[in-house]
């Protein structure tokens, strides 16, 4: 029987519930337990696929094609296991299924209400992963902050689960902020007291308090929190700001978070955590022997979360190469007003990011032209690959009016066009080409060398594709398709034959990079940047 750990947040959002949940899961996994994590988001969208990245950061895609919250990326990166649709549930999805059941007559004439129908649906989703595998522990992270009207049904569902299954099967962790008032030179516990009161009012007594703080928490503060929040003193855990999120599992180990959880859930502590691979990674990450600067050309640069997985993939790829990767955001619109050369100065590689719509496209094309001509390593992801195809058509193949149909739906030379099965799609939610697809690589390609195989599977999220009407022209040129989906003939990868490193991929490699399995394409791109820098000096 799986045990359940619930993680809620208090005082403010962005405290890093996902990182704490992932770190705890990592420690439990390192002790030989089978652990997974799921995220419940209290918003009414069915999934974050329709959300602007400025609203909620990157949309993370799983192998089974679910468009999910970016926290699932952390879960995968930390645990080195794959998530699925079942690991991310929203209020929209909960209501949708309750309403569908009501229409089907499943409630047998009853009045359908938040309690018990919505809460029953939440509870059944909370237990869904029990059917998927024989997990020892399922960690459930509740999005948002305790006290939000939207999260009330979730807190109520937690209360009911604890009531039904008891404390040795259900545990509640509350992550909170202990702010530091510099004028008073004091850490303040009051916001936490209030937040715990909110939880108590909803009938949930937190078993463990994890306290985010910029300064060390004294015994006295722990005692105070313990007293006012009715939590055992040794279950008040300090979560000091860390220089990298990947330090957090070790910080939590030091604070004995895993031991406290195991004790409360009455589970064995006999196996000590094996964190060798994790510590090796941290060793490499913190002791780089070299450095490169990578430009990240995108249009959502104001918000780092919009490119979360790309930033993290560079951390992993940097560590395997013992190289510090400085990622410099470059706004694609800024490149449209000229001086591309100046913006590209001192960069050892350029990644052109995924994206949607017309804004900033011309800037991306300018950046690609520059790096293609100058021999600077280039990596294009999804829209970035599509832009590379357009740029090459215009400036090398001589197709002056080459466009992507996304930008010019009526353009004559659509070297990137709408996928066939997208032509009749009207609805926006969940209708792109999503999830994992196989791809066959040309044996002689740089990409195949990087992967060490010619058969790969990668995750997708797009509507447009390389137009195979132009296949012959590209095949006879320097920019060649080297990765094909054999079932559909879709071009998934293009590579420049005579450039030191110029790779565009239609899929999202960043979604599969993990601490213990860095992505081969990020790793080879960083290698190319190291090489480029060496040759410059």
Q: Which is nearer to ligand GLN, 127 or 463 (CB)?
A: 463
Note whether 488 binds ligand GLN by CB under 6 A: no
Q: Select which of 67, 492, 510, 519 is catalytic.
A: 510
Task: Report the distance separating Cα 363 and Cα 213, nearest Å.
Answer: 41
Note whether 356 binds ligand GLN by CB under 6 A: yes
Task: Report the distance separating Cα 214 and Cα 201, nearest Å.
Answer: 29
Task: Report the distance separating Cα 118 and Cα 116, nearest Å.
Answer: 6
Closest residue by Cα to residue 515 from 122, 244, 174, 128: 244
Query: At its nearest, how many Å lie between ligand GLN and the CB of residue 63?
Result: 16
Q: Select which of 170, 382, 387, 439 is catalytic.
A: 382
Q: How many residues bind ligand GLN (CB under 6 A)?
A: 10
Residue 70 tokens read as 């970016």
Whether 523 and 317 have beta carbons less than 8 Å apart is answered as yes
Q: Which is nearer to ligand GLN, 235 or 386 (CB)?
A: 386
Helix axes 308-320, 276-286, angle to 10 degrees: 90
Note whether 340 binds ligand GLN by CB under 6 A: no
Of 39, 372, 462, 514, the one binding ligand GLN by CB under 6 A:
462
Task: Report the distance separating Cα 17 and Cα 9, nearest Å.
Answer: 7
Note whether 383 binds ligand GLN by CB under 6 A: yes
Note whether 67 binds ligand GLN by CB under 6 A: no
Query: At its nearest, how many Å lie between ligand GLN and the CB of residue 357?
Result: 7
Span near ligand GLN by CB under 6 A; candidates 230-238, 278-286, 291-299, 353-361 = 353-361
Residue with tokens 């995968």: 76
Radius of gyration in angstroms for the set of CA atoms belonging to the chain, rounded to a whole number = 25
Q: Which DSSP category does 423 fall into? A: T
Note whether 53 binds ligand GLN by CB under 6 A: no
Residues composing the chain: 537
Task: Report the distance separating Cα 344 and Cα 337, nearest Å.
Answer: 14
Note whether 95 binds ligand GLN by CB under 6 A: no
Note whether 355 binds ligand GLN by CB under 6 A: yes
Residue 508 known to be catalytic: yes
- What is the separation of C-alpha 313 from the centre of its chain, rounded to a whole number of angstroms? 10
Note whether 298 binds ligand GLN by CB under 6 A: no
Note whether 464 binds ligand GLN by CB under 6 A: yes
- The contacts found for 366-371 with CB under 8 angstroms, 24 or more apart, are 366/335, 366/336, 366/340, 367/295, 367/297, 367/330, 367/332, 367/335, 367/340, 367/343, 369/340, 369/395, 370/340, 370/341, 370/344, 371/344, 371/502
Residue 238 known to be catalytic: no
Q: Which is nearer to ligand GLN, 259 or 463 (CB)?
A: 463
Span near ligand GLN by CB under 6 A; candidates 307-315, 331-339, 391-399, 455-463 = 455-463
Q: Which is nearer to ligand GLN, 176 or 332 (CB)?
A: 332
Of 69, 207, 406, 492, the one binding ligand GLN by CB under 6 A:
406
Longest dimension (CA), the chain: 78
Q: Which DSSP category does 75 fall into? A: H
Residue 531 known to be catalytic: no
Note whether 354 binds ligand GLN by CB under 6 A: yes
Note whether 382 binds ligand GLN by CB under 6 A: yes
- What is the separation of C-alpha 372 from the centre of its chain, rounded to a whole number of angstroms? 29
Of 372, 394, 461, 514, the one binding ligand GLN by CB under 6 A:
461
- Any idea which residues carry the catalytic annotation? 382, 508, 510
Residues of the shown chain interacting with ligand GLN in the complex, contacts defined by CB under 6 A: 354-356, 382-383, 406, 461-464
């Amino acid at each position: 029987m799986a045990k359940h750990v619930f993680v809620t947040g208090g005082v403010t959002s962005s405290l890093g519930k996902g990182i704490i949940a992932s770190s705890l899961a990592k420690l439990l996994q390192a002790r030989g337990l089978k652990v997974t994590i799921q995220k419940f988001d209290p918003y009414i969208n069915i999934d974050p696929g329709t959300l602007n990245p400025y609203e909620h950061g990157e949309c993370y895609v799983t192998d089974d094609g679910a468009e999910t919250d970016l926290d699932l990326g952390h879960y995968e990166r930390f645990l080195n296991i794959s998530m699925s649709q079942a690991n991310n549930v929203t209020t929209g999805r909960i209501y949708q299924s309750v309403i569908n059941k009501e229409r089907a007559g499943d409630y047998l004439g009853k009045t359908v209400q938040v309690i018990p129908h919505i809460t029953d649906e939440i509870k059944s989703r909370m237990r869904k992963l029990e059917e998927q595998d024989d997990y020892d522990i399922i960690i459930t992270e509740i999005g948002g902050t305790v006290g939000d009207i939207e999260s009330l049904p979730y807190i109520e569902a937690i209360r009911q689960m604890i009531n039904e299954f008891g404390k040795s099967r259900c545990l509640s962790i509350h992550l909170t902020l202990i702010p530091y008032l510099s004028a008073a030179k004091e850490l303040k516990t009051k916001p936490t007291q209030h937040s715990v009161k909110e939880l108590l009012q909803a009938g949930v007594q937190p078993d463990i308090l994890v306290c985010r703080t910029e300064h060390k928490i004294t015994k006295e503060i722990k005692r105070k929190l313990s007293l006012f929040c009715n939590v055992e003193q040794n279950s008040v855990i300090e979560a000091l700001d860390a220089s990298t999120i990947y330090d957090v599992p070790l910080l939590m180990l030091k604070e004995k978070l895993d031991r406290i959880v195991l004790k409360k859930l009455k589970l064995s502590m006999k196996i000590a955590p094996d964190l060798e691979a994790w510590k090796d990674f941290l060793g490499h990450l913190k002791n780089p022997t070299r450095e490169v600067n990578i430009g990240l050309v995108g249009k959502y640069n104001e918000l780092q979360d919009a490119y979360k997985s790309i930033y993290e993939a560079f951390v992993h790829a940097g560590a395997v190469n013992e190289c510090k990767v400085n990622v410099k955001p470059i706004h694609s619109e800024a490149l449209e007003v000229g001086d591309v050369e100046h913006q590209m100065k001192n960069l050892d590689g350029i990644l052109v990011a995924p994206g949607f719509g017309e804004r900033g496209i011309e800037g991306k094309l300018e950046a690609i032209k520059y790096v293609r001509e100058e021999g600077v390593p280039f990596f294009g992801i999804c829209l970035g690959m599509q832009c590379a195809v357009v740029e090459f058509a215009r400036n090398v193949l001589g197709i002056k009016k080459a466009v992507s149909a996304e930008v010019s739906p009526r353009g004559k030379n659509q070297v990137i066009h709408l996928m066939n099965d997208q032509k009749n799609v009207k609805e926006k939610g969940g209708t792109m080409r999503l999830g994992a697809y196989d791809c066959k690589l040309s044996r002689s390609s740089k990409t195949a060398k990087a992967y060490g195989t010619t058969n790969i599977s990668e995750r997708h999220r797009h509507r447009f594709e390389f137009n195979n009407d132009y296949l012959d022209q590209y095949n006879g040129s320097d920019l060649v398709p080297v990765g094909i989906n054999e079932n559909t003939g879709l071009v998934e990868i293009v590579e420049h034959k005579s450039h030191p490193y110029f790779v565009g991929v239609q899929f999202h490699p960043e979604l599969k990079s993990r601490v213990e399995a860095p992505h081969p394409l990020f790793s080879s791109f960083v290698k190319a940047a190291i090489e480029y820098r060496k040759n410059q000096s």
